[in-house]
A and B are shown apart, each in its own frame.
Chain A
Amino acid sequence: MWRRCLLSGTALWLAAGSPALAYVAYVSNEKSNTVSVIDTDKWAVTNTIKVGQRPRGIEFTRDGKFVLVAVGDDDKIEVIDAATQQVVDSLPSGPDPELFTQDAAGKTLYVANENDNTVTVIDLEKRVRVGDVQVGVEPEGMALSPDGKILINTSETTNMAHFIDTATRQIVANVLVDARPRFAEFKRDSSELWVSSEIGGTVSIIDPAKRVITGKITFNIPGLRREAIQPVGIGITKDGKTAFIALGPANRVAVVDATTHTVTKYLLVGQRVWHMAFTPDEKYLLVTNGVSNDVSVIDVAAQKVIKTIQVGELPWGITFAGP
């Protein structure tokens, strides 16, 4: 199987014939306590960086110079220098940080702290904690509205998407979604907010202006029991037309027409697929497969899995530097 993947990958590569534009992806490996560095030119791991305990949420800083990785069991966020690929500093998050997001200017970081029902606000320049927002039980998913005015946090046991005014740091609205909301993603034009519910098995489409659910994406895979379909990571293309949704232990990524909200295809990937990231040119989508310890590479235009890359144990998050 491996060989076939390799061959077809190479074939596509040759067929595409475009000049190799190498990007670098960083993958957090929850169990190994490492971050794998993937070169998209070689489609191979070029470095493995030792980090703190239980690395999960991972994101490049806006300037592309650093990679931030939440090491939950060490109660902090580590800073990796992208030039030297070494941990150079850490940020004071609250206890057990998991996912986080930053504003467009790259000045403020918002962190979900699963253990004490808070969202922590960190000044990225001074690298200090500047405030907390009290939210529901087990905060997890984090997203900023494209205009930066509203921060979304999902709480896994409260089952809500909290709308937080970033200026006042007050909750201004709460939208009840299905069980265990894990991830939130805005469309670039702010027209829709998508929230995945892992246990509920759905993705809620929310109107960010009215703050109500306007639709729900459900998944039906023949031969697969309902309980195994657990949506987590969401990726929406910049044009807002196509979305990819990782379905956890269903071992598939759903391809969704983001205009009609209908599933058009299921792509078979590795086991327990978690999170994803597009290459900056949006040609490829890389997804982390938690149980099979690998990353699947999806050709976005062809909507096909073209390659599998072995990484560390229990890969969780993935990030690319911005374009």
Chain B
Amino acid sequence: MIRRLVGIVGLGLLASQALAAEPVEIGIGYLGQAGIRSKLSLVEQPAENDGIAGARLAIEDNNTTGRFLNQRFSLEEVRLRDGEDVAKAATALAGRNGFIIADLPADALLKAADALRGSKTVLFNAGSTDERLREQDCRANVIHVAPTRSMLADALAQYLVWKQWKRWLLVVGSHESDKLWADALRRAATRFGAKIVQERVFEDTGGARRTDSGVTLIQRQMPVFTQQAPAYDVLVAADESEVFASYLPYRTWDPRPVAGSAGLVPTSWDAAQDQWGAIQMQNRFFKLNSRRMTARDMQAWTAARMIGEAASRTNSGDPKPVFDFLKSADFSIAAFKGQRLTLRDWNLQLRQPILLVDGRMVVSVSPQEGFLHQYSELDTLGVDRPETKCKLSG
């Protein structure tokens, strides 16, 4: 059967190529870092191709559509090693591609954006959740597909408040990114009427994430660490660095649920998401990559699909009209989240529902019912227009 299908596909391609002129080539670069970020849980350990695997699926999807429009999409991957010049790599990649999907930390992303200033190439931030990239450090040539920390925190806070778990015990890691995540969670608590009854810091004293007798020690440490807390409903952990949060569920001194970086986690995507037609996409992804789809995969998929969508609407592969379309009121993208996703025109951040997941199931999807907004309920998540510090300039 598969062979027959392939035959049919081949015939279709031949037919359409015979009819039409040379297809329009649309090059997309993928700029990421070498190496993987280690997770506490072995099952969450990212694959080598985390992120780009999603872009690859989107390229397939775009090319299926492209067959009917005489457009052909390709993907060029560049991985930066430690100390490699990101500006140079971005410039080289931009020489061959009108679009670059970037999975980079904030500083590197800004260097790439500034190196490409004046060129036609558009950057898609599919990795960094840093607020400042959408605020004081926003750039006119960067579209943000990844959600921000404030969007993630607000999504979680809305649900916890709906659940009447309003007293939070906040435990923060000792790294910079943990502190930024905690800032977003504090802001969310204030916005939606939760109360942080106490904050604790979990110092990273170093050490291995994987040891042979790990559980015994953790089982002694975590109850002690969480004892003598004031009365609270939920422990909210801010641990982007993957040092302690996943050790907390079932080990807190008081029997309380955990949320934030472990337990109930806000995310742009999860392998368990099967609503709104997502099952088709999950199946396609699995077939192509022989593994399940992560948030980073989804962010890269969405970025590449946004390019494909705009290319089909404008019937062009030229970054200028494609970028103009993406910034226009006509743009929206379907990404299996139950509603259209659009761009915030003040900082080019993609509006999106946020999933709340427990590692096995999608527990809920925010915005929660009843959190209203005069323009879009998706703008109840994250920094809104009146609060923004972003000033986009050409």
List the interface of chain A (C-beta within 8 A of B).
96, 114-118, 132-134, 136-138, 155-160, 162, 170-171, 174, 176, 179-180, 198-201, 225-228, 230, 249
Contact = CB atoms under 8 A, between A and B. Distances in A.
Contacts of A176: 69, 312-313
A200 B309 CA distance: 12
A33 to B, nearest CB: 16
B376 A227 contact: yes
A199 B313 contact: no
B224 interface: no
B219 to A, nearest CB: 40
A136 B333 contact: no
Contacts of B284: 115
Interface string B285-323: 000000000000000000001000100110000000000
A259 to B, nearest CB: 27
A199 B332 contact: yes
Contacts of B378: 227
B49 interface: no
A171 B334 contact: no
B8 A157 contact: no
Interface in B1-45: 4-5, 8-9, 12, 15
Contacts of A133: 8
A115 B68 contact: no
A227 B339 contact: yes
Given A138-B277, A228-B339, A117 B309 contact: no
A170 B8 CA distance: 11
B376 A136 contact: no
Given A116-B5, A227-B340, A159 B312 contact: yes
A230 B339 CA distance: 8
Interface in B316-338: 332-334, 338
A176 to B, nearest CB: 6
B65 interface: yes
The 4 closest A-B pairs by CB, nearest first: A227-B339, A199-B334, A158-B65, A174-B68
B61 interface: yes
B8 A134 contact: yes
15 contacts: A132-B8, A137-B64, A156-B334, A157-B61, A157-B65, A159-B312, A174-B68, A176-B312, A179-B309, A179-B332, A200-B332, A200-B340, A227-B340, A227-B378, A228-B339
B5 A132 contact: yes
Interface string B67-84: 011000000000000000
B377 to A, nearest CB: 6
Given A134-B12, A159-B309, A115 B339 contact: no
B119 interface: no
A115 B281 CA distance: 8
Contacts of A249: 338
Contact of A160 (B68, B283, B334, B377): B68
B280 interface: yes
A114 B5 contact: no
Interface of B: 4-5, 8-9, 12, 15, 61, 64-65, 68-69, 277, 280-281, 283-284, 305, 309, 312-313, 332-334, 338-340, 376-378
Nearest to A182: B277
A179 B334 contact: yes
A180 B334 contact: yes
Contact of A226 (B5, B64, B334, B376): B376
Contacts of B61: 137, 157-158
A117 B313 contact: no
Contact of B65 (A132, A160, A198, A201): A160
B15 A170 contact: yes
A159 B280 contact: no
Contacts of B68: 136, 158, 160, 162, 171, 174
A83 B339 CA distance: 41
A304 to B, nearest CB: 28
A180 B280 CA distance: 13
Contact of A134 (B9, B305, B312, B377): B9
A137 B277 contact: no
A200 B340 CA distance: 7
B280 A96 contact: yes
A247 B334 CA distance: 17
A153 to B, nearest CB: 12
Given A115-B280, A115-B283, A225-B377, A199 B64 contact: no
A159 B378 CA distance: 23
Most buried by B among A158, A180, A198: A158
Nearest to A175: B68
Given A136-B65, A138-B277, 10 more contacts: A118-B5, A137-B61, A156-B334, A158-B61, A158-B68, A170-B15, A199-B332, A199-B334, A200-B332, A249-B338
B122 to A, nearest CB: 21
B32 to A, nearest CB: 25
Most buried by B among A118, A170, A227, A230: A227
A132 B6 CA distance: 11
Contacts of B338: 249
Contacts of A227: 339-340, 376-378
Nearest to A132: B8
Contact of A199 (B5, B65, B283, B340): B340
A227 B69 CA distance: 28
B334 A117 contact: no
A138 B376 CA distance: 28
Most buried by A among B65, B281, B313: B65
Contacts of A156: 277, 280, 334
A85 B64 CA distance: 41
A136 B312 contact: no
A157 B69 CA distance: 14
Nearest to A96: B280
B62 to A, nearest CB: 9
Nearest to A72: B279
Contacts of A114: 277, 280
Nearest to A199: B334
A139 to B, nearest CB: 10
A25 B340 CA distance: 33
Contact of B334 (A134, A136, A157, A225): A157
Nearest to A133: B8
Contacts of B334: 156-157, 179-180, 198-199
B321 to A, nearest CB: 15
Contacts of A132: 4-5, 8
